[in-house]
Structure 1
Amino acid sequence: MKVALYIRVSTEEQAEEGYSIKAQLNRLESYAASQDWKVVKTYIDDGQSAKDMNRTELTKMLEDINDGIFDCVLVYRLDRLTRSVLDLYTMLNTFEQYNVKFKSATEVYDTTTAMGRLFITLVAALAQWERENMGERIRMGLNQKAKEGKWAINVPPVGFDRAGDFLKINEKEAEVVKEIFDTYLTGLYGMTKIAKMMNDKGYRSKAGVSWKTATIRYVLTNKIYIGTMRYNYRVNKEQYFEVENVVDPIITPEKFYEVQEMIKSRSVKHPRRATSPHIFTGVLKCVRCGGVMNSKTSSMKRNNKKYTSHHYYCNNKRYGTCDAPSIAQSYLEIQFLNKISEWNLKNEVTDYATSSLSEKNNSNIKIIKINNELVELEKRRSKWQYAWVNNMISDDDLRKRNFEEDEKEKKLREELWNLQNNIENNSKDAKLSLLLKDLQKNWSKLETHEKKKFIQLVVKEIKVNKTEQRLTPESVVIESIAFL
């Protein structure tokens, strides 16, 4: 059998008996002779550690395996080849792939016998354990890094660059992000059209590739643009958490959450409906049969001029199960504003604002207390980590304490989310009341797409009927309006 000898010494082992290059070489040559094996090549790593596989002669040996120069690799002791079970298993897989045996002259590591192969099976189990243990430690480290506000992912999002472990704003890319948000908020374009606009302007994503619908959505829904980092958003979702005030915001929270409402409202509508000139598409219900009201556009010429009108009709009319006449959008707009003006919004807004302010103040105090508790929790985690690194507590103790802290954090973050959600909902309700208060005055100043965007954001359902055949606004009756 043709044999390759592998010899290694680290600097501190040079003078030790039995570990010197000469001592290993003599013993391995004698062993090979006793087995009637032919030594065809010797690889010597002088003064190199076995902590990893990044060694000059080891690399050459693994490359030579491809050429079939030898049939077996012989070492004096396993630790000459590697001190890592995982690296050993990797090399043994390579050996097996090219039908090369492995033998330690002084130990039972030996793939030339059945007993040796059994032992290697145990090594494989240890390698799997080491991989899983390493994975746990890496995840724990990355989670801790993220909780400290550090960027634990390789590629930063568009609009930011890495500055060590943290993110800093890339001003040029930040302008692209702002343009994406502002364009979407016009209500005129969907994500696919915005992606095409970005590509036409020569913009590229952070990865240097063209924009797509998915990358536009990622930008529009990523809280990093209001300063909040998400972690475990796509994988390990059961361990998902957010860290606020990680970076300076590119987008205001008001603009960001307005975009989220638009995305939510558009998700249940056909993309063409979202940007059509029909203001009330998707919210109208027929009083007579409860059916959905669809939209249509009619055109006619008069005196060489083209006139366009928009109407709504009950979907069940085409099946012969409803006799509701079509309703002109211009009449519906007038009756919508009349319905709004009937409400005593002034007193309603004043009462709501007073109660909302008090509730918001109480919630903010609770939020500050919870954030302080979260800071203390992170300090305790750091202490447990420090104690573990210095062998003051065991692995089991660390797991137990981390589990306890994770449970506390989970409850605190759930309470925090509920408080923030309540504040957001109350603010949204107050904003809605104020919008409705001034709506009649400002409606005529809005463009069609702005009116449509308002309806999409605040109106859930409008039940409407046409009681007369007359061509007047009074023939249209709005029975009820439900808001989101």
Structure 2
Amino acid sequence: MKIAIYIRVSTEEQAQEGYSIKAQISRLEAYALSQGWIIVKTYIDDGQSAKDMKRTDLQKMMKDIEKGIFDCVLVYRLDRLTRSVLDLYTMLNFFEEHGVKFKSATEVYDTTTAMGRLFITLVAALAQWERENMGERIRMGLNQKAKEGKWAINVPPVGFDRDGDFLKINEKEANIVREIFNTYLTGLYGMTKIAKMMNHKGYRSKAGVSWKTATIHYVLTNKIYIGTMRYNYRVNKDQYFEVENVVEAIIPSEKFYEVQEMIKSRSVKHPRRATSPHIFTGVLKCARCGGVMNGKTSSMTRKDKKYISHHYYCNNKRVGTCDAPNIAQNYLEIQFMKAISVWTFNNKVANKAISSVLNDDESKNKINKITKELGKLEERRVKWQYAWANNMMSDTDLIKRNKEEDEKEKELQDKLSKIKNHFEVNHKNIELAKSLKNLQENWNELETQEKKKFIQLIVKEIRVNKTEQRLTPNSVVIESIKFL
């Protein structure tokens, strides 16, 4: 295993025995040799405190972790890395995200053990307490700042720019805001159509992205445009307050409140009921843009007979950022059943698993037995580490013992991997293949709500596209299916 060693000595500790740079390097090199590890890089912060993470070589090490140069960070003692609970929690999370282990040469500190997990739990609790206290102090400061009429949020709303702690009008953006209000007041356009118009004209929101229904709604309902700042209107709503006359108004107040009345009169709730006729609701994604596809029902009358059809459309199409055509549900059903048929035919593992007999109890017993042996092996290693750290065991003896245990561990892990792989993969494929087989055989006999329930139980995501304008099932292409 490739490792990096991190060494830190503060000014006060320079003369203390066992803490000198030379002493730490010597002990860490010996420990790495005993484990059969390769030291690829050494980081030394000389004369720097561990009160925070603003240390030269620590920052270099964090950047190298992102590059994947080594697999583990080794320190002489935990306090060499940090003395801050919050910094420790941050670093351990960072290590885990990048697949890097952490080890202390003189302390039992291993997140793969029960003791290590207990320690991490305590660290997390303390870190949360520290963060919450810090958060309360920050919120109090921001609340006071907002009450003084200062802008306490990073990004100002469209129509304004930051001028120190206050806002000033951005005339170019203010004209867009006025256009949005005036267009809505005509009564001819809803928020979705206005978003589409803004995108068509090449306008962008303050964040530089396309306009959406939600961003238009934000503009039309934000009191900042009549000079009143809202604070805590999304989070901490119990502490919501408003501060008037903090900035020059862009929209006259009578026009603003006229818009609010129009929004109120137009608002009609359309809850997505469980009884909706759209089978693939909630799992369908557009293969072109990745957007969510919603269901829609349409009807037509021909020769006094009413025809009802169900289809899906990409949500981003409504605001002009996707050109995906609508997809008929009946065509999608046909292609979905074809995809399942191909999956079950090609998945030899699943087909074999269905016909095989899998003894769950026997596999579980074998897994438990090997896991216990691995636990005992780790306990022996901990004892030897303590003995070595207290000079009760030589470097040579530690190397010999570790080599023997490494061989034993490899043998046990190989056995465990084979058993788990056979048990878990086959067991999962049995259940999935049985479900899909039943689905194939019974799909046409199921009611719409039964089909919908089945999809929600086994499918996580379906990405679909329409490649032809012809009204045929082959015009619909399922590009991928993810099962739960």
TM-score (norm 1): 0.47
Whose relative contact order is higher, 1 or 2, with alpha carbons under 8 Å and at least 6 apart?
Answer: 2
TM-score (norm 2): 0.47
Larger Rg: 1
